[in-house]
Structure formats: structure tokens, C-alpha cells
A and B are shown apart, each in its own frame.
Chain A
Amino acid sequence: MHTLYNLVSGPLVWVAFILFIGGSLYRIITMAILAKEKDGAVYAYMDTYHAFRSIYHWIIPFGSRNMKRKPIMTSVAFVFHACLILVPIFILGHVMLWKESFDIAWWYMPDLAADIMTVLVISACVFFLVRRLTQPEVKYLTTASDFVLLGIVAAPFITGFWAAHQWPGMRTALILHMLSGEIMLAAIPFTRLSHMIFFPFTRGYMGSEFGAVKHARDW
């Protein structure tokens, strides 16, 4: 148990962060080079103002027509993504770890807020799961990997909640929490979770094409 704990709380953290940061940089750089070679248009037509105009309309809730048409999905998706990013950064336990390891610290959120937001993430995962299983147009597109990804995202939150509340088996839960968090970080650059790093580019390019060349809105 101790060796396992030491492994997931030590070397694997480094591995996960290196894979996450290094992998993201690797993906962005290789794609940028490939685009330079094969998709000259991307560079020629990318337009800062219109790229950000489009990104802006797609990162604020209900900023696009499709989001307005689907209020439930939009609300869930925004709450999900916001909590998914905020909780790991601002939860007290994590801030403490940064303080202990590197003597850096920042604002942390009250435990109650962290609890609520964690439950929101887990509920959103359940919502996405149900949506995948019941909506014909989503079900049709679903592959096994989609369930795996959903599991990868939900796992750190479920185990984290478990460990934080010191429920029975919390030691195992803590180890699983760290392990699943590491898996998620490492998976981001190399799976469809990479939409996190590619979103600004795909959206920005479409915004540039629509805005600068075609003089139309894309939201």
C-alpha cells in the first residue's frame, strides 16, 4: 500500500504532468508544422480579430444560436467544464500540496463549494452518459472509447469526493484518486479530450474563414 501510495503521489505525478504539458506542446507543435507543410490556407486566412470574435461567442454561455436552442445541454456543458477546471486548481487539498511541495499558494475555495462543484461534475457525467445511451443522434456516433473517456473524466471526481469525505476505504480511494487524475491529465493530449487544446485553433480558424473572408457570423 505504501509503495503504491509513494508511486502515485511521487513519480507518477511528474510523469502525468510531463505527458500533459509536454504532450500538449508536442501535439500543438507537430500540428503547426504539419499545417505549415500541408494546409497553407490555415496560416494565410487566420485572422486574429475574427478568430477571437468566434471563440468569444462560443465560450460564453448561450453565445451561439445552437446553445440557445439547447438550453439544458448548454447549461450542463458549461457548468461541467467550469467545475472540471476550477475544482482541481482551487480545492484546498490541492493548494496545500502545491504549498508543501513548492511553497507556492493561491486562493482556495470553501469545502462546501468544492463538494457542490464535484457533485455537479459527476452529475454532468451521468447526464452525458444518459444522453449517449438515449439520444439516437448521439448513440449513433458513440464508440466504446467515448464511455472510456467519460469514465476517465468522472473517476478523479468520484474517488476524490470519496476520499475527502473519509468514507470507508478512503486510503484506496485516495490512491485511485491520484492515479485516475494522472491518467486524465496524461490522456488529454492524446485522446479526444484534446479538444481542450485544439478548440481555440479549430474555432478560431472557422471564425476567421467566416468573419474575414466570408463576412458572415459563425455562431
Chain B
Amino acid sequence: MTETVIRSRKIKEKKRVYPPRRPVPDLGLDKGAEKLTPERIESTIRSVLDNETGARLKVYVDTCAHCGLCSEACHFFWSHDGDPSYSPAGKVKQTISEIVKKKGKVDADFIRGAAEIAYTECNLCRRCSMYCPFGIDIAYMMLTVRRIAHLLGVVPQYIQDTAHSHSATMNQMWVKDDEWIDSLLWQEEEAAEEIPELRIPLEKEGADILYSVIGPEPKFRAQLIYQAAVIMHEAGVDWTMPATPGWDNSDMCMYTGDNEMMGRLKKVHFETAMRLKNKRIVMGECGHAFRSIFDMGNRWLAWKMPPIPVTHAIEFYAELFRDKKIKVKKKFEKPVTLHDPCNIVRGRGLHEMARYVVNEICTDFIEMHPNREHNFCCSAGGGVINTGPPFRNKRVEGNRIKAEQLFAAKSKGAQVVIAPCHNCHGGLEDIIHHYNLKMELKFLGDIIYEVMER
């Protein structure tokens, strides 16, 4: 983006008075807060502050100079016309800095409010760390608030249900063990109509690649497994999928603050790849799962880096194109734009590789601005979309800036938005509908499947 454009982007209408916040009714938050006692709040907070946090939190809280320079990093701040209570430091002020200052002597209403802010008004996208001159990790502070809220049992109902599913089934969507295998066999059968010799190898010991997906793929987006199988088949890749729990790489527990479960999930995932003696894990187009495997879950298990190499779909596709393992029959002709998902761009720097893949498969690529590390989040990430229908409007209205960003790309001709991340898909879909943008939304895999030689 040219600097002039960046500078010309100003909050349109800064107001003197902003509408007061109204709590969104949610069973998880409301009922959870009702059960709290001052003693429980204080002892829980003290235990987190004393045992689970240390110098980082202290230094962050102590050095923030209250300069407000992080504000314009946040899509919530932009979308609320510069309402300071939605700025990153504003959210810190309303949550963790109060908690630290009062050493846990806060009431149930406060916890409820802090939980709502941390779970539904911050996507943990880390954009603000790139705007804070001191590099304060505000996402980490919001995660600390979530950790406290989780231990206090004040978690939005929908995402808590997802976390329960993780604990009970080791996947996000209450998919039973046999349903998982059935879904794979079903997709294999479907694909066999197109390519009779296609297989989805299950439990193949020693295969180069363990391909892992997120829970919603077998549940709602089974065609993605079909497409992945076709790509693997045509590329002649030695791959497998597990027939046991551990197939799901997703992790909402990381976002509820249930670190213990986050660790269990990643342990099962890594151990599945170890059991099958795979050389590496290749994962589908998902952002948060990548964060969990590559950044947070492994750390909880005391692995500095994942114990087995992890390759995101974008890297994997780039590899296939570079090695000419898949060839393009005819490039996708509709003009496309690319959404950079936080967890694999700010989280892994895959932006240039994504552009390489897009240019391999599309004729007309239009950048949206700002982009790469500076892209705005979809507002679904960080588990926010998983807080479900009660917070849908808040999430979509809290990201008007994304709609404007998409609209700007559309006015330059883009008809299709490529979002190589499941959460981003969910979030952008809602934004496109709500703001009536009339743009198509695709995964990279959708387009590769469409244009590849087979």
C-alpha cells in the first residue's frame, strides 16, 4: 500500500460521546457469573497471577504509557468510529489492568464484563503488537483474562460447548470415531466416481504425510476432504489420515483458556503422527489450528517447536507447484483478491507464498489494502465466531472496516475473495452477507481443484 493511502485513511467520524456498552445476554456468561463468590474470584485470580504469569505481564502492565497508539490497529476500534473502549489498550484497561491493580478484588459483574470483552471483542490477531511502540503483547493479556474467566467458569456457552466436545471426543464437533471413518469412506466413494483409483489411505504406517483437518470438515465441509484427496492423488503424494482420535488439529480450548485441554489435544495429535511414523503433518487451510500446533499447544507441552514438522496447506500447495507435481489446465479467470489470515501471516509469514500460489492458479489477482502482516482480521478468529449466534451481530458490526476493505477491492474489479482459513471463511461469509457485498468466497483448494489437470 502506498503511504499516501495509509495516511488518508482516518477514522471518519470521531465522536465526543459513544453509546454505552450493553452486555449481550449469554447463558454461559450470565449463569457462570451468578455462581461466583468474591472469595472464589480473588483466590482464582491470585493463583493465575502468582503461578501462571510473571515478568511479561508485570512489565506489560507497568510500561504501557497510555499513549493510545495501538488504537488504530484494531478493527473493532475502526468499526465503532473510534470508540476508545474498543481500542486494544482500552480493552486492557477494562480488564487485566484493573484485575492486576485490585489484586483480584473485583466483583462478579466485572468478571462477566471482562470475559465478554476478552472472548468477543478481541480476536487475538496480534495486529496491535505491530502498532504499539513497545511491542506489548496485548493478545497475551487478553488470553490471560480468558484463562481467569475459564477457571471461574464464565465462558460463552457456544464456545464452551465446543471445548466440551474437545474433551469428550478429541474433536471439535462431537464427531464419533466411526462417523469420522464413515465420512472419509463416503468422500472416497464420491471421488471414485470421478477418479476410480483414488483412495483416502487410512492408518498407513510410514506414509510421508499425515494429513489433518479440523472438526468442521467432516461435519459440514466434507467436499474439502474430497478436494484434498484429489490434489494428493494427482500429485502422487504418499499420505494418510488416521482412523483414530487425533485426526482433528483444531483447538477451541486454546481460546477458552483451557490450557490443560489444549495440551491434551496437541499431545494426541502429535502422537498420532508418531504412531503412524509419518515424516510430517500437513494441515488443511486453517489458521487457528496452525497457531495451536505451531505456537501455543506445543509450548504447553514444552516443545519449543513442534516435535514433528508441520506444514500449512499454503506451504504445501506452493511446494506442489514449485515441484510441478500438479499442473494447471486453465487458470481461474474471475478476478480474485486475497485475505491474509492472521495466524498464518502474522503467525508464520506465509503471505508471499500465498501470493505465489494465487498467481499460479489465477489470471487476475487484485490486492486488498492493507495487506500482508498489516491485514485486518476477519473478526471470526480467536474463537470469536465460536461464541455463536448471541454474538454474531457484535462480531459483524465490529468489523465494518473489513467490509470497506473488501468493497475497495471489489471496486477495483475483484469478484472472488480467497481466504485460506476456515475461521476467516466463516467470518467473511457473514460480512459479505451483512454488508451485501455480493462477492464469492473460496479456499485456495477450491480453485486448485477446479483448475488442475486431472
Contact = CB atoms under 8 A, between A and B. Distances in A.
Contact of B89 (A37, A141, A218): A141
B64 interface: yes
B447 to A, nearest CB: 25
Contact of A192 (B62, B69, B373): B62
Contact of A58 (B84, B90, B133, B136): B133
A68 B3 contact: yes
Given A41-B299, A66-B73, A68-B3, A195 B65 contact: yes
Nearest to B128: A66
A212 B16 CA distance: 42
B85 A194 contact: no
B129 interface: yes
A206 B68 contact: no
Contacts, number: 149
Nearest to B93: A141
Interface string B82-103: 1111010110010000000000
A207 B3 contact: no
A141 B88 CA distance: 10
Interface in B333-356: 345-350
B365 interface: no
Contacts of B350: 215
A158 interface: no
Interface centre among B7, B58, B66, B87, by most chain A C-beta atoms within 10 angstroms, is B66
Contacts of A202: 59-60, 63, 134-136
7 contacts: A39-B54, A73-B69, A138-B84, A141-B93, A206-B136, A210-B129, A216-B347
Contacts of A209: 137
Contacts of A99: none
Interface of A: 31-32, 34-35, 37-39, 41-42, 44-45, 54, 58, 64-66, 68-71, 73, 135-143, 146, 192, 194-195, 198-199, 201-207, 209-210, 213-219
Interface residues of B, number: 56
A206 B77 contact: no
Contacts of B14: 136
A198 B133 CA distance: 12
A216 B134 CA distance: 17
A141 B66 contact: yes
Interface in B273-316: 295, 299, 304-305
Interface centre among B62, B133, B305, by most chain A C-beta atoms within 10 angstroms, is B133
B90 A137 contact: yes
Given A194-B62, A202-B136, A216-B373, A35 B54 contact: yes
Interface centre among A32, A35, A198, by most chain B C-beta atoms within 10 angstroms, is A198
B7 A216 contact: no
Contacts of B129: 206, 210, 218
Nearest to A213: B295
Main secondary structure of the interface of A (DSSP, over half): helix
A202 B59 CA distance: 8
Nearest to B135: A206
Instruction: List the 5 closest A-B pairs by CB distance, nearest first.
Output: A38-B54, A206-B135, A215-B349, A140-B84, A35-B55
Nearest to A191: B62
Given A137-B90, A198-B134, 5 more contacts: A31-B59, A38-B52, A38-B55, A194-B63, A205-B135
Nearest to A38: B54
A216 B54 CA distance: 26
A66 B6 CA distance: 9
B110 to A, nearest CB: 18
A139 B374 contact: no
Given A136-B84, A205-B135, A214-B295, A69 B55 contact: no
Contacts of A194: 62-63
B349 A192 contact: no
Contact of A214 (B66, B82, B90, B349): B349
Contacts of B305: 213
B362 interface: no
B349 A216 contact: yes
A120 to B, nearest CB: 19
Nearest to A199: B134
A136 B299 CA distance: 38
Contacts of B89: 137, 141
